[in-house]
Structure 1
Amino acid sequence: MTAPTPDPLAEPAARRRGDKAAGRTTLAATLLVLAVLLLASATAGLAIGSVHVPPGQVWGIVTHALGADRSEPYWSGARETIVLDVRAPRVLLGAVTGAGLAVVGAAMQALVRNPLAEPYLLGVSSGASLGAVVVIVFGVTLLGPVSLSAAAFAGALGALFLVYATARTGGRITSVRLVLSGVAIAAVLTAVLDLLLLTTDRGNEARAVLAWTLGGLGGVTWGTLWLPSAALVIGIGVLLVQARRLNLLLAGEEAATTMGLDVARFRARMFVLLSLVTGVLVAAAGPIGFVGLMLPHIVRLFVGGDHRRVLPTAALGGAVFLVWADIAARTVAAPSEIPVGVLTALCGGPFFLWLLRRDARRGTDRGVA
């Protein structure tokens, strides 16, 4: 009896299905591990500080505040205030900011097709810093306690409009002109910021400006936490919907256009979205650098380049990283506090140099001068 002839197309199709199933399993496992790490990191962030609170007591305070535990509290009111009103908003802001910067960085690297791109590429952080400096130096308090954040966001928005007005020629905006305009506007705004600092005759304002421009999570309250959280949810939601189009850009502009994507319009819309999300995050926590540069590259080592996998993984990874960076900022030089942006720069600077050397080595291997 003659054996049936094997179908030459069946084996590759089965292999592709197996690869997809393995990829989904890897993604699920990675997300689960990161979610557990984020939960453990948040617990550590609530427990570690000048007043140590045992993890079990932390969970008791949190569950009691949520109404899940109605037993009689066995902790002091001071510890409850420290956990709920001082540390909890700070930990949540760290998670939100880390997640947002990592997601924006991943999308920005795809849009400009440059592995060295990061959320502050379009000068948003310089505009936000200038807005904050104006409030600090001139003592503007028209909006009360949110004056600083409001001015920082207004500065970020103003910088975005300047960049787009400069980059727009003939009704079109190219990514090259947009990036160059962002660099130029950032340089001008930074010069104005430095001029304000040099002309102020009060040292306290200069120290406050330096602390803000280095980034930090202190001073956040529950009342100001909703805006960066909303920006993160909206930003991730839109980017996940557009993940397939981001993947098309990885093949190049011509290939993406051939597949039906209006590259110029898509990039313009995404740049506006990413800049607005970045502006909100900078207004809340200051310009914390290198998170949006490092985390996308790190997560791609585990889940590949598909943005349907990169975006959620980068969000969780960025949240874990910045929560631990803030814990280190609070404890390394206690009782003094190091700006968290200093620690992210200490981590990100060597990573940036490694990335440059890696890309240079790849260019040499391909015969690129």
Structure 2
Amino acid sequence: MKIREERYKIIFLSLLVLLVFSILIGVSFGSSYISIKNVYQFLSNRILNREIFSPTWKKNIEAIIWEIRVPRVLLSAITGGGLAISGVLMQCITKNPIADPYILGISSGASAGAVAVIIFGEATIGMLGITGGAFIGAIACGIIVFIIGTENGKNISTVRLILTGLAVSTIFSSITNILVYSAKNSNQVRSAVFWSMGSLGRAKWGELLIPFLALAIVFILSILLSKSLDILLLGDNTAKMVGMNIGRIKTIIILSSTILISILVALTGSIGFIGLIVPHICRYFCGSSHKKLLTLSILVGAIFLILCDTIARTIFPPRDIPIGIITSIIGGPFFLFMIGIKSFSFGGKNGRS
């Protein structure tokens, strides 16, 4: 047990270092390269509000770093971490190892809302309107799934919840397709398709606070409920025997996760595979203890999406590739590899807990 705890601490500290390093890489690389040394020196001066390092870079570099790349990298970290812990939560309450944050149809609702604004109101409302439309669509989808799938929280049946999410997702996807078909020009279609595949290009300092607070609240709440989540994996009957209020726990998790994903998807579009593969990667190292799993997942998810977005920004400069393409290209084969080595379980390697 002591060896396992020491191993976990080493992994945790290594991931923290890797997160800092990935942030530096994400800020350095883009359509124009900025040396990691200059990025580190400028950020040190800016964060500490002191000129520790004498500037050896051009003044316009500071604007690129602070106004464009840092917000984008931070949004990548927040989104990656949020998708990862939502994946953990969805896999737990559905007891489905291939569940992801979008299993309740949230991304389909967001896509319908965003595409509706793109097709009918982008010229007047602007990009803020797309974000707002996506959020409204996601929340509407979440409310419908919750009301029908759980009977207003009275019956948290896993099968009923998943089937409701699938049906509602199909409906909203059909609405999105109708909207795209009704587009008046190719630019609207291109914008709709690009948004639906995910993008972090709209990141601004003013848009980071709400997703960060949502992520922090859901993470803290999940850690507080981590022992209950561990018991849920043993089955609903076992949870009832120990006196746990299953309906209340699942309702809290579903609602908090839905709000978090709605906010993230509204800002970035649908980004696949992170919420699916990251929890399994972390289970391989820490087993099924949710306190450890959630902590590692938020770090690995942040690192993974930062690096994927860096690739998306640099592979065909100055154009951005939709981030969802990169996560799918990397995530798909990796997920197949995980299945091949039989680590596809809730307890890590060979079901280890």
TM-score when normalising by structure 2: 0.92
Query: Which one of the candidate residues 228, 253, 259 is aligned to 1:245?
Result: 228
SS, match of residue 137 in structure 1: helix
Q: State the Cα distance separating 1:263 from its structure 2 match.
A: 1.4
Structure 1 spans left out of the alignment, 5+ residues: 1-18, 363-369
User: Deviations for 1:183-204, whole angstroms, at most 9, x for unmatched residues?
Assistant: 0000000001000111112110
- The count of corresponding residues between Structure 1 and Structure 2 is 343
Output the CA distance in 1 between the equivalents of 2:237 and 2:322: 44
1:160 aligns with 2:148: no
Q: State the Cα distance separating 1:24 from its structure 2 match.
A: 2.0
1:177 aligns with 2:183: no
1:62 aligns with 2:25: no
What value does the CA root-mean-square deviation take over the aligned residues?
2.0
Output the CA distance in 2 between the equivalents of 1:88 and 1:281: 17
User: Deviations for 1:115-154, whole angstroms, at most 9, x for unmatched residues?
Assistant: 1010000010111111111111112577664222121111
1:299 matched residue in structure 2 = 282
Output the CA distance in 1 between the equivalents of 2:139 and 2:106: 7
Larger radius of gyration: 1
Q: State the Cα distance separating 1:334 from its structure 2 match.
A: 2.3
Output the CA distance in 2 between the equivalents of 1:142 and 1:226: 25
User: Deviations for 1:248-273, whole angstroms, at most 9, x for unmatched residues?
Assistant: 01111111111111212211221111
1:35 aligns with 2:16: yes
Do the aligned partners of residues 196 and 351 (structure 1) sit closer, same or farther apart at CA in structure 2, a change above 3 Å counting?
Answer: same
Question: One-letter code of the match for 2:294?
Answer: L
Q: Give the conservation status (yes or no) of the 8 Å contact 1:135–1:141.
A: no
Query: Which one of the candidate residues 20, 24, 48 is aligned to 2:5?
Result: 24
Query: Which one of the candidate residues 45, 60, 63 is aligned to 1:81?
Result: 63
Output the CA distance in 1 between the equivalents of 2:286 and 2:63: 40
Query: Which one of the candidate residues 285, 300, 303 is aligned to 1:317?
Result: 300
SS, match of residue 262 in structure 2: helix
Question: One-letter code of the match for 1:110?
Answer: C
Output the CA distance in 2 between the equivalents of 1:251 and 1:29: 28
1:127 matched residue in structure 2 = 109
1:345 aligns with 2:328: yes
Q: Give the conservation status (yes or no) of the 8 Å contact 1:126–1:189.
A: yes
Structure 2 spans left out of the alignment, 5+ residues: 346-353
1:44 matched residue in structure 2 = 25
User: Deviations for 1:272-303, whole angstroms, at most 9, x for unmatched residues?
Assistant: 11111111111111110000000000011111
Moved beyond 3 Å, runs of 4+: 140-145, 168-171, 351-362
1:333 matched residue in structure 2 = 316
2:170 matched residue in structure 1 = 187
2:247 matched residue in structure 1 = 264
| Identity of matched residues, % | 35
SS, match of residue 44 in structure 2: helix
SS, match of residue 321 in structure 2: coil
TM-score when normalising by structure 1: 0.88
Output the CA distance in 1 between the equivalents of 2:146 and 2:271: 23
Output the CA distance in 1 between the equivalents of 2:146 and 2:254: 10
Q: State the Cα distance separating 1:331 from its structure 2 match.
A: 1.2
1:136 matched residue in structure 2 = 118
1:201 aligns with 2:187: no
Output the CA distance in 2 between the equivalents of 1:96 and 1:287: 14
